[in-house]
Amino acid sequence: MTTDSNYAIHGSTAVIYLDNPPVNSLGHALRVQLDAHLRAAIDDPSVDSVVITGRGKLFCGGADVKAFNTPMSRAEPSSRSIIARIEAGTMPVVAAIHGNALGLGLEFAMSCHYRVASPGARLGLPEVKLGLLPGGGGTQRLPRLVGAQAALRMITTGDAVDSREALELGLIDELIEGDLVEGAVAFARRIVSQAPHRVTSRMRAEPVDTEGSTTAFFAAQRAVLERDRRGLAAPRECLACVEAAYRLPFDEGMAFERERFDVLVNSVESKAMRHLFFAERAAARVEGVAPDTAQRPIRHVAVLGAGTMGGGIAMSFASAGFQVSLIESKPEALERGLGNIRKNYASTVSKGRLSQADVDARIARIGGTLDFQAVAQADLVIEAVFEDMAVKKEVFEKLDAACKPGAVLATNTSRLDVNTIASFTRRQQDVIGLHFFSPANVMRLVEVVRGQATSPEVIATCLSVVRKIGKLPVVVGVCDGFVGNRMVSHYAREAEFLLEEGATPQQVDRALQDFGLAMGRFAMTDLAGLDIGWASRKRLAPTRPAHLRYSKVADRICEMGRFGQKTGAGYYRYESGSRTPIPDPEIDAVIAACAAEAGIERRPISDEEIVERTMYALINEGAKILEEGVVQRASDIDLIYVNGYGFPARRGGPMFLADTIGLAKVYARICQFHATHGEWWKPSALLQRLAEGGKTFAKPE
């Protein structure tokens, strides 16, 4: 007989608590305890039913992700043998869910006879987000409970449903409004009195919905996944397993699921996605910023400049409930900016993602004004005016004079020196970079640029506020272009050189897309516009080192007035009203002329060379960034690339990619490129040291 506090008897119902803070993950120690409690209940003649619930704020957050791929994940009592015990018994077991039942937590709940839940509880199988599938029976049990359509949606997106939707779907049996344990015990009493009670989800051999069970249904769903989740194995395998639930008897379906899980858990895709999962947690730990660092309260945000970035930034804050003042210098720019905001929100309504009432409330939180003095009320100011140091100087001097003491002063500059910008104020400790990505209302990444004087309090405040608006903050130091844009310029350089050496824009783009990038380099540039890069090249031309080669292709294209999609032509041409890039012989001629002028004999270029030249350029620069201490760890760079630049998550980011290939191989190839293509390819000293020492970016020591 167990007597500890995680086992209690209510009348003839045993109540078992899952107790493993912080998320009650089903690690080995918890399984040992749970198994003992279940045996105690089954062996106790005065007990006729069991309620299992979670201690603390939630039912169960899932498996112990850290134990994946280790023997402990399957050590006895395994979750399978615990489930077998529930299924073998005659006693009804009720899972009482509050907070979260995720992953293995939900799989376990589904293997109980009944499920009840509190309002607001979230139930989901997020494994696909880690490149996995639910390997604890989820793919076999969920379709039996909710049907193929809903099961497939939940399993292939990994998105949770709340308890109300779960009730509608048949995933839970009852919503308990009051005290959960009391309600669950009362539910168990009713079940016992209505014997015979239901068997568990394993025994329901027949699929619940026949509509979803047809071969045509799965073929159509497979085609959708191939289109929307290109190159990803996990969603495909999830679908194969759900289909198996309709094809195979339960035990064979379980064996199929286990086999597919084992393939995924050892795949690069899943290792990459788990790497990114842990990278996000690591990025929250910032040197010199203790976890208990005081934060400044942020309620009112002022955004300066209602252009491309300012509008999106204002939307992000308003959507998260902040009061926003959007400050412009020109009435027509303010009108245009507010108009764009309204248009963007209207499109969200038309797609059914937000209600008109929601949007009205959000728009009402944005106050557009031409009065600079509105900054005086703000707890946080984000400057998004023209990228020109003279303009930034004027603005920051005015901010210094007008803002209240303690206000956080942020700049959204893409490349300018945040320390110089801070020096325009007498409060350098309050100045920081918050580098949003375009479109700012959509993109998740924010580079948090720490100046030499930025206080830990200001960094902690910004990390927290960026998370509150649903974005991912990654702290970086000051250097030209910070991390993302600094690296991307090396990638862009190689893409351009490849054109001169013999490739076409469409070949480069296709090779990069096949590799997994969301868009190829040149289609992307056409979308973003070529004029900004042209202006900055002209500005920087006098300071260019003479020993480095520069391609003239982009300049020539700009001189033709081709600035990308907005002018109907760039590296490609575009039919009016269309965004589809069409290869253009005029551009082939420009490229050939540039190559001839530079004395380059064009040759056939392989797709492999395109990928190596562009990716290794990223890796080499990433290593230099790391060795300069601009970021704390290699995984920060991976987060920036995956969340800001369309780098495929299944490859884990450029630094993870390098580790996967092997640093010795990467270094050797970079040395070859150095010998063939010159000084741009000077290998990073850190890369050399790690390669020669047999180390990785993930474990450099």
Which C-beta is closer to ligand NAD: that of 237 or that of 328? 328
Give least dist CB 425 to ligand NAD, A.
15
Contact 531, 630 (CB under 8 A): no
Q: In this chain, which residue has its C-beta nearest to ligand NAD?
A: 307
C-alpha neighbours within 13 Å on the C-beta side of residue 570:
24
Question: For the chain, how far is it from start to end, CA to CA, in angstroms?
Answer: 49
Selected binder of ligand NAD within 53, 73, 163, 413 (CB under 6 A): 413
Residue 97 burial by CB count (10 A; 0-12/13-18/19+): exposed, middle or buried?
buried
Packing angle between helix 654-661 and helix 634-644, nearest 10 degrees?
Answer: 120
Which C-beta is closer to ligand NAD: that of 309 or that of 617? 309
C-alpha 171/C-alpha 147 separation (Å) is 10
Q: 632: which 2 tokens?
A: 């704390």
Which C-beta is closer to ligand NAD: that of 399 or that of 594? 399
| Position 307 contacts ligand NAD (CB under 6 A) | yes
Give least dist CB 525 to ligand NAD, A.
12
Give least dist CB 308 to ligand NAD, A.
4
Contact 635, 475 (CB under 8 A): no
| Position 148 contacts ligand NAD (CB under 6 A) | no
Per-residue DSSP letter, 176 = -
Selected binder of ligand NAD within 66, 203, 386, 685 (CB under 6 A): 386
C-alpha 193/C-alpha 144 separation (Å) is 25
Characterize the bridge pairing of strands 114-117 and 122-124. unpaired
Residues 6 or more apart whose Cβ sits within 8 Å of residue 350: none
Give least dist CB 470 to ligand NAD, A.
18
Stretch that binds ligand NAD, among 110-118, 240-248, 301-309, 457-465 (CB under 6 A): 301-309
Stretch that binds ligand NAD, among 170-178, 383-391, 445-453, 554-562 (CB under 6 A): 383-391
Whether the upstream peptide bond of residue 45 has omega within 30° of 0, thus cis, is no
Amino acid of residue 193? S
Which C-beta is closer to ligand NAD: that of 349 or that of 528? 528
- Name the active-site residue from 107, 447, 494, 501: 107
| Position 328 contacts ligand NAD (CB under 6 A) | yes
Selected binder of ligand NAD within 74, 230, 330, 353 (CB under 6 A): 330
| Position 384 contacts ligand NAD (CB under 6 A) | yes
Between residue 1 and residue 30, which ones bind ligand NAD under the rule CB under 6 A? none
Contact 392, 385 (CB under 8 A): yes
Q: Which residue has the tokens 């491309």?
A: 308
Which C-beta is closer to ligand NAD: that of 252 or that of 388? 388
Give least dist CB 398 to ligand NAD, A.
8
Q: Strand runs (DSSP E) across 407-556, as ranges?
A: 408-411, 431-436, 445-449, 472-476
Q: Which residues pair with 95 in a beta bridge?
A: 52, 115
| Position 327 contacts ligand NAD (CB under 6 A) | yes
Q: 34: which 2 tokens?
A: 């749970």
Stretch that binds ligand NAD, among 43-51, 387-395, 538-546, 691-699 (CB under 6 A): 387-395
Which C-beta is closer to ligand NAD: that of 261 or that of 436? 436
Between residue 457 and residue 516, which ones bind ligand NAD under the rule CB under 6 A? none
Give least dist CB 416 to ligand NAD, A.
7
* Binding characters for ligand NAD, 104-143, by CB under 6 A (x = yes): ----------------------------------------
Report CA 161 to chain centroid distance, whole Å. 19
Amino acid of residue 144? R
Residues 6 or more apart whose Cβ sits within 8 Å of residue 224: none
Contact 415, 480 (CB under 8 A): yes
C-alpha 343/C-alpha 323 separation (Å) is 20
- Burial 456-473, CB ≥16 within 10 A → b, else e: bbbbbbbbebbeebebbb
| Position 385 contacts ligand NAD (CB under 6 A) | yes
Contact 80, 34 (CB under 8 A): no
| Position 308 contacts ligand NAD (CB under 6 A) | yes
Stretch that binds ligand NAD, among 408-416, 570-578, 638-646, 647-655 (CB under 6 A): 408-416
Give least dist CB 396 to ligand NAD, A.
10
Quote the radius of gyration of the chain (alpha carbons, Å): 29
Stretch that binds ligand NAD, among 29-37, 321-329, 344-352, 671-679 (CB under 6 A): 321-329
Stretch that binds ligand NAD, among 51-59, 148-156, 324-332, 676-684 (CB under 6 A): 324-332
Contact 44, 1 (CB under 8 A): yes
| Position 524 contacts ligand NAD (CB under 6 A) | no
Angle at 388 between CA 386 and CA 391, to 5 degrees: 75
Strand order in the sheet with 122-124: 100-102, 122-124, 161-162
User: Which one, of 333, 360, 332, 366, lies nearest residue 348 by Cα?
Assistant: 360
Which C-beta is closer to ligand NAD: that of 48 or that of 328? 328
| Position 395 contacts ligand NAD (CB under 6 A) | yes
Stretch that binds ligand NAD, among 134-142, 291-299, 326-334, 570-578 (CB under 6 A): 326-334
Stretch that binds ligand NAD, among 128-136, 380-388, 606-614, 652-660 (CB under 6 A): 380-388
The count of chain residues that interact with ligand NAD, using the rule CB under 6 A, is 24
- Name the active-site residue from 76, 87, 127, 586: 127
Instruction: Count CB neighbours of 605 within 10 A.
Output: 18
| Position 333 contacts ligand NAD (CB under 6 A) | yes
Q: Specify the DSSP element, H or E, that contains 217.
A: helix 215-228
Selected binder of ligand NAD within 191, 309, 472, 626 (CB under 6 A): 309
| Position 418 contacts ligand NAD (CB under 6 A) | no
| Position 412 contacts ligand NAD (CB under 6 A) | yes
| Position 306 contacts ligand NAD (CB under 6 A) | yes
Which C-beta is closer to ligand NAD: that of 249 or that of 331? 331
Contact 97, 118 (CB under 8 A): yes
Max CA separation in the chain (angstroms): 93
C-alpha 609/C-alpha 613 separation (Å) is 6
Selected binder of ligand NAD within 140, 163, 414, 635 (CB under 6 A): 414
Which C-beta is closer to ligand NAD: that of 394 or that of 692? 394
Please tell me whether residue 123 adopts helix, strand or coil conformation. strand
Per-residue DSSP letter, 268 = H
C-alpha 670/C-alpha 684 separation (Å) is 9
Stretch that binds ligand NAD, among 65-73, 123-131, 322-330, 607-615 (CB under 6 A): 322-330
| Position 369 contacts ligand NAD (CB under 6 A) | no
| Position 438 contacts ligand NAD (CB under 6 A) | yes
Which C-beta is closer to ligand NAD: that of 411 or that of 454? 411
107 is catalytic: yes
Positions that interact with ligand NAD (CB under 6 A): 304-310, 327-330, 333, 384-387, 391, 395, 412-414, 435-436, 438
The residues carrying an active-site annotation are: 107, 127
